[in-house]
Amino acid sequence: MTGENDLPRAVQVSPNRRHGRQVSPSRRHDKQDIQSQAAQRAVDHNRAAQAEHVVRLHAHSVFSFSNAWPQWVLLCLLLIAVLGKLGLIGHDWTAIGQAGLSPSSQHWFGTNSLGQDLAAHSAQALANLLSDVLPGAALGFLLALGLGLWAGFQADSWIDRAILFAIDTFDSLPVMLLLIVLASVLKNVSLALPIALGLLFWSSAARAIRSACIDTLKLSFIDSARLIGMGDMQITLRQVLPIIRPVLIALGLVIAGNCLRVQLTLGFIGLDRSAKPSLGALLNSGTEEALSGRWWPLALALLISTLVLVSLEFMARRYLSRNA
């Protein structure tokens, strides 16, 4: 490992001393000065090059309002979900009124065939979506991050080949069928579905993180970081992660989008824990109501689902294009 060839040790054991030659104290002092100056130059180069790279990546603020609508849409939906989770919005979603009302000032999105307010229903569905998708996406992301970085640092070794084989294997699994089986069989285990989502959606992200890590390790300031004695862990935390941050954010958003799509499908089929309101169940009941002429439940469910998925996708693309 080149990182073990660190400079402080080189300063302590000079080449002349290794060959057993006696060097005068003043000359040794000069040599130490030159080497410490070289070390300082390596540190400066490392900091300057990394700072330049980070500044180039973050040249445009992501949260500038112009052309940044996905972030704001996602923030609004997240706010509604959090307020719903805290019980500040839509806590009375079980209250039953007049059935089949069209959108009005009293019921913003109308009522469904049971007479439940669709606005309250969808706020609670968003809150449940957050708690169902977030653990699975977080698990998948952490798995991808750990294995991707490990494979990146051990490129071309047997560990790298083993991780790539696992990635290829998991990429070829029939994910949707497996998730339907897992969701129907393990419906009584509360965290089974998020864990299954995390275990099945890490592979593509791990491959991307591995490539990003290998590309970053080729940059010049990584060599200077090794020269000043940084180990693999320090290089990962202080040099690689800040550089590949846009890729990581994009991949996190892609994993969340995939988990969301699966959750919608399972909810639509009726295989999620259906005692709680969910967007998939709302889509399913909306389809049935649309056949009897009430279009607004399906339109609302389609609008919310599309908004969430499109915002995630567009935001991920933006981060990826910034990195490119």
* Binding stretches for other proteins (CB under 8 A): 165, 168-178, 180-186, 189, 257, 261, 264-265, 268-269, 271, 283, 287, 290-291, 293, 295, 298, 302, 305-306, 309-310, 312-314, 317
Altogether, the residues listed in the chain come to a count of 324
Shortest Cβ distance from residue 281 to other proteins (Å)? 13
* Comparison of 149 and 183: residue with beta carbon closer to other proteins: 183
**Least gap, CB of 40 to other proteins (angstroms):** 41
């229903």: which residue's tokens? 121
Q: How far is the CB of 43 from other proteins (least distance, A)?
A: 37
Task: For other proteins, give the closer residue by CB, 183 or 230.
Answer: 183
How far apart are alpha carbons 143 and 321 in whole angstroms?
Answer: 24
Measured from the CB atom, is 181 or 237 closer to other proteins?
Answer: 181
Least distance between other proteins and beta carbon 15 (Å): 40
In whole angstroms, the minimum distance from the beta carbon of 73 to other proteins comes to: 12
> For other proteins, which is the closer residue by CB, 42 or 197?
197
> 179-213: b or e for each residue (b if 16 or more CB lie within 10 Å)?
bbebbeeeeeeeeebbbbbbbbbbbbbbbbbbbbb
